[in-house]
Amino acid sequence: MTVRIGHKVKAALLQIHSVAGLVLALLLALIALTGAIMSFEDEIVDQLNAGIMQVAPRQTPVLMPDDLIARVKAAQDVGKVSAVTLSSDPAAAVHVRFARDEQGSRPGSLYVDPHDARVLGSPRGEAFFATVRKLHRWLLIPGDAKGWGRPITGTIALGLIVMLVSGLVLRWPRRASSVKMWLKPNLALSGRGLHRSLHAVIGTWVLPVYLAMTLTGLWFSFEWYKDGVTWLLARPHVTVAKMPAKSPRAADRPGTAQPIGFDRAWTTFQREEGGRFSRALLTLPAGSGTVIRIRSWGNDRTLETTRDEFRIDAVTGQMVSAERYDDKTFGEKIIAAIYDIHRGAILGWPGKLAFMMAAILMPLFSVTGILLYLSRRKLRRPAQPPLGRLVPGE
C-alpha cells in the first residue's frame, strides 16, 4: 500500500512539474537569459565609458552640485535632474540622472566635469541595459514596477520554486548517498535517456543557485514577501522605520515654492562623513517633499549594497535619519545584500560568473523538459488497432 501511495504521489508531482514547466518554459528562459546579460553590467559599462568617467586632475576646486547643474542647463537643453553621483576623488566625473518626462520616458544620463560643468558625454550601453532590465523585471509590460509585470514575474518565480522542489523529489535516487548518482550525467545514453539524465543531473547542479535567485527575486515582486522577510530578519524598530512618516511638503513651508536643490544636504553630508566615503548618490524626492536621500559607499566597500543611507532636509540642512551599514545586525545585513545575493555578487566575481552560467543553462531545461514530455505522451499513446483482418485465401 505504501508503495502504491508513493507511486501516486510521484505521478501527481510529475504532472505538476510537467504542466508548470510547459507553461513557464519560455518565460523562465527569457528571464534567465536577460539576467545573465546583466551579470557583468557594471564592468561592461565601465569599460565602454572609461574615457568619460574620469577627468584630468587640476588644482581648481570642484563645483557645488547646484552650481554644476545650473551650468549644465545653461549650456544645453536638459530635463529635470533627479539624482547626481558625486565622488571624493576630484578626478572622477559627476554622473547626472534625469527624471521622466511627460511621456513617461527617461532621458539618458550625462557625465560632467566636476570643475567646470563641461558635459563629457552620455554613457554608452545605458539604454541597452535599461531595456534588458525592464525585460528581466517586468517583461516590458507598461507601468514598470507599478504595472502587471512585477506580480507576473513574481508568480513565475513561485512556479520555479514548485518545479525545483517537485523535481528534486522526482529524481531522488535509490542510493541517495551516492555522489555519482546525484552529480554525474550518463552521456553514453541517447534519445530520451540522455535528455532525462541531462535534465535531472544538471538540474541538481544548479538547484541551489536557482533557489537563491528565486527566493531573493521574490523580494522585488511582492510587498507581502518583503514585509515577511523584514519581520523575520530585522529588529522591530527597523521594521517600523521602513514606513517613515511623510516629510513636510515644500509648498507647506514659507519661502520654498521654488524647486529644492542639493547644496544644503550635500554640505551637511560632507560635514557628517568627512573623508570616509568614496562616492555618494544624491536623489531628490519624487513628490513634493523636501528630504533628500543620500546613499554613500566607503573606500573599502566593493558591493553595491554595503552602503550607508542618510536622509537630509534640503531646505534646513537638518539630518533626518542616518542608517549605517556597520550598525546593522546580521539579519539586516542579509536584507541589505539581497540584490547582491540575487546576482551572486556576494561571492565576488566567481559568484557572478557561476550565477551567470546557471542562468544561461535555463533554456536547456526548457528544451529537455519539453522533449521528455513529448516522449512520455508518445509512449502512453495506445497502439493503433489493425485496419482489418484478411479473409483466408485472399
* Rounded-to-integer distance, Cα 250 and Cα 248, Å: 6
**Among 123, 157, 185, which residue terminates a domain?**
123
- Lowest-pLDDT choice from 43-47, 101-105, 249-253, 313-317: 249-253
Is 336 inside any structural domain? no
Question: With contact defined as beta carbons under 8 Å apart, do 232 and 331 qualify?
Answer: yes
Last residue in a domain, options 61, 93, 123:
123
Q: How far apart are CA 209 and CA 311, in angstroms?
A: 35
Q: How many Å apart are CA 348 and CA 23, to the nearest integer?
A: 34
Candidate ranges 280-289, 294-303, 357-366; pick with highest mean pLDDT: 357-366
Q: Which residues pair with 270 in a beta bridge?
A: none
Surface-to-core class of residue 104, CB atoms within 10 Å of its CB (0-12 exposed, 13-18 middle, 19+ buried): exposed
Instruction: Single out the residue of 318, 307, 146 nearest to residue 247, CA to CA.
Output: 318
pLDDT of residue 383: 55
Distance CA 220, CA 329 (A): 21
pLDDT band at 237 (very low <50, low <70, confident <90, very high): low
Which tens digits make up the pLDDT trace of 332-385?
Answer: 999 999 999 999 999 999 999 999 999 999 999 999 999 988 888 887 766 555
The reply to whether 245 and 317 lie within a common domain is: yes
Predicted confidence at residue 301, as pLDDT, reads 75
At residue 251 the predicted structure's pLDDT band, cuts being 50, 70 and 90, is very low
What are the grid coordinates assigned to 315, written together? 531646505
- On the question of pLDDT at 246 being above 80, the answer is no
Rounded distance, CA 295 to CA 109, Å?
A: 18
* Buried b or exposed e, range 305-327, using 16+ CB within 10 angstroms: bbbbebbbbbbeeeebeebebee
The residue whose grid cell reads 539524465 is 197
- Same domain flag for 324 and 255: yes
Whether 179 is in a domain gets the answer yes
The alpha carbon of 11 is separated from its chain's Cα centroid by a whole number of angstroms, namely 35
Q: Which three cell numbers stand for residue 208?
A: 541551489
Contacts of 23 (CB under 8 A, 6+ apart): 159
| 97 beta partners | 83
Q: For residue 335, is it within any domain? A: no
Q: Are residues 262 and 365 in the same domain?
A: no
pLDDT of residue 58: 86
Domain assignment present for 338: no
Residue 64 has a CB neighbour count (10 Å cut-off) of 16
Task: Look at residue 249 and tell me if it is in a domain.
Answer: yes
pLDDT for residue 20? 92
216, part of any domain: yes
317 and 239 inside one domain: yes
What integer is the mean pLDDT of 308-325? 94
Domain that holds residue 248: 235-328
Mean pLDDT across 159-165: 95
CA 129, 130, 132 angle in degrees (round to 5)? 60
Sequence-distant (≥ 6) Cβ neighbours of residue 270 within 8 angstroms: none
Q: Do 321 and 357 reside in the same domain of the chain?
A: no
According to DSSP, residue 66 is labeled H
Report field, pTM of the whole predicted structure over 0.75? yes
Rounded percentage of the chain residues whose pLDDT exceeds 70: 89
Looking at residue 241, its pLDDT comes to: 53
Position 385 scores a pLDDT of 57
Evaluate whether residue 388 is within a structural domain.
no
**Residue 73 falls within a domain, yes or no?**
yes
Residue 34 pLDDT: 97
Kindly give the residue spans of alpha helices, DSSP state H, lying in 254-329: 263-273
Question: What does pLDDT average to over the chain?
Answer: 87
Q: Does position 228 have pLDDT exceeding 70, yes or no?
A: yes
Cβ 42 vs Cβ 348: under 8 Å:
no
pLDDT, tens digit, for every residue of 10-22?
Answer: 888 889 999 999 9
Tens-place pLDDT, residues 77-93 = 888 999 999 999 989 99
For the chain, percent helix, then strand, then coil, each to nearest 5? 55, 10, 35
Is the same domain home to 34 and 167? yes
Q: Considering only 2-16, 259-273, 312-326, which range has the smallest mean pLDDT?
A: 2-16
H-state helical runs in the chain: 2-37, 41-48, 65-75, 126-138, 149-170, 179-183, 192-217, 223-233, 236-241, 263-273, 330-336, 338-342, 348-360, 362-380
Q: What is the pLDDT of residues 34-57, one digit of tens each?
A: 999 999 999 999 999 999 999 998
Backbone φ, ψ for residue 193 (5° rounding): -65, -40
Q: Are residues 211 and 254 in the same domain?
A: no
- Number of domain units in the chain: 3
Strand partners, 322: 310
